[in-house]
Amino acid sequence: MKIARVDAFAIKLPPADTGNEGTTENLDTYGDYFIARDAWTSIYSRAHETCLVRVEADNGLVGWGEGQAPVGGRAVRAIVEDLCRPVLLGQDPFDVEYLWYRLYSAMRERGHVTGFYVDALAGVDLALYDLMGKALGKPAHKLLGGQFRDRVRVYAGIGGTDEATLVRQAQEHVAEGYQALKLHLRVSTPEILQIVQAVREVVGPQVELMVDIHMLRDVSGAIELGRGLEQLGVRWLESPTQPEDVHGQAEVARALDMQVATGEWLRTTWEWRQWIEHRAFDVAMPDIARTGLSEGKRIAALCDSFNLPIAPHVGGGGILAVAASVAYSAAIPNFQILEHAHRAHAQKARIARRFPEPVDGAFPVEDVPGLGVEIDEDAVARFTV
């Protein structure tokens, strides 16, 4: 079996109500994109955007992958089609790790060792695992080394700035069966503590709470916030300060008794290594639609050698990113919990006829070949930019 065709699709699904209401004030808008005017935050799209990768073998089997691109999906598409496709055509898809390494090495000397280029490699990698699984009739987690668990526990993400709205969302998600929640909070420290306390009071002590502040504190501010959150029984503080400041993150991690979770922007073992050496976090959050399954497995092994747990990031990833993250979570020994966007799940799945779905706060680990997603190619064509 040889690779006969490689295509990529930058897709954009119209906005949907995810239940994560936030303020529309103090935003600079650029079409579908927006960015906060008064803080160093990420640029976001009101639509769901990502880049899909389709790899077809000479026997007609097709594998689908995703290089996460919440913005800029056309950049990932161009890399797949212009740089990855020529290397992949005619190759054996079972040489998946060799192909990742060959593609990665092809741009090392030029300094493209992260960002959109490695996102493109992740999309190719996931597509190859999907293709291999279909060829063998085996789920992707079996190809990664085997099944460590029957269920992949998840936390549901909620966000906004209004306390009453967040309390209502928390109650609704717990009623849906979720026993872990992550609050995305971009407000002042006193406001965060007030919101978390209100949520804790309505969900009770048995529900795990995590807080993601999206890098919006300096080191001392992150420590101050973390100490307040510890008093409220919060499990972890996520992305406390700027990702360039490894030493600062390590100070935060040392100062707090609670877990510090981070790493969604780290795509390779080489990037993760210095963070691990500095003990700059307590929970690693690789994003499988940015690392790929091949490199993600190496990251998990590296973390495991330092007794560090993995809580995969999904964020703005689409339905293939979700499915790949479930497979990954099932196949590593040091898994802790997986991110999930409950109200965005159906929106992300509009390009699929079949896809994994959570039950009572966890994804069942299914025995479905490949990534377990049946893509609707007509829908992909409809939503392609």
Instruction: Please indicate whether residue 313 is annotated as part of the active site.
Output: yes
Which residues lie closer than 8 Å to 368 by C-beta, 6 or more apart?
139, 354
Which of 173, 313, 340, 342 is flagged as catalytic?
A: 313
| Exposure string over 163-200, b if 16+ CB within 10 A, otherwise e | bebbbbbbeebbeeebbbbbbbbbbebeebbebbeebb
Contacts 24+ apart (CB under 8 A), 99-104: 99/124, 99/125, 99/128, 100/124, 100/125, 100/292, 100/294, 100/295, 104/268
SS percent in the chain: helix, strand, coil, step 5: 40, 20, 35
HEC per residue, 131-180: HHHHHHCCEHHHHCCCCCCCEEEEEEEEECCCHHHHHHHHHHHHHCCCCE
Q: How far apart are CA 272 and CA 197, in angstroms?
A: 33
- Residue among 267, 262, 263 nearest 289 (CA): 267
Rounded CA gap, 54 and 286, in Å?
23
Nearest to 293 by CA among 131, 85, 140: 140
- Report how far residue 73's alpha carbon sits from residue 116's, in angstroms, rounded to the nearest whole number: 9
Instruction: Say how many Å lie between the first and final Cα of the chain, rounded.
Output: 31
Are the CB atoms for 276 and 302 separated by under 8 Å? yes
Task: Give the separation between CA 115 and CA 181, rounded to whole angstroms.
Answer: 29
Residues with active-site annotation: 313
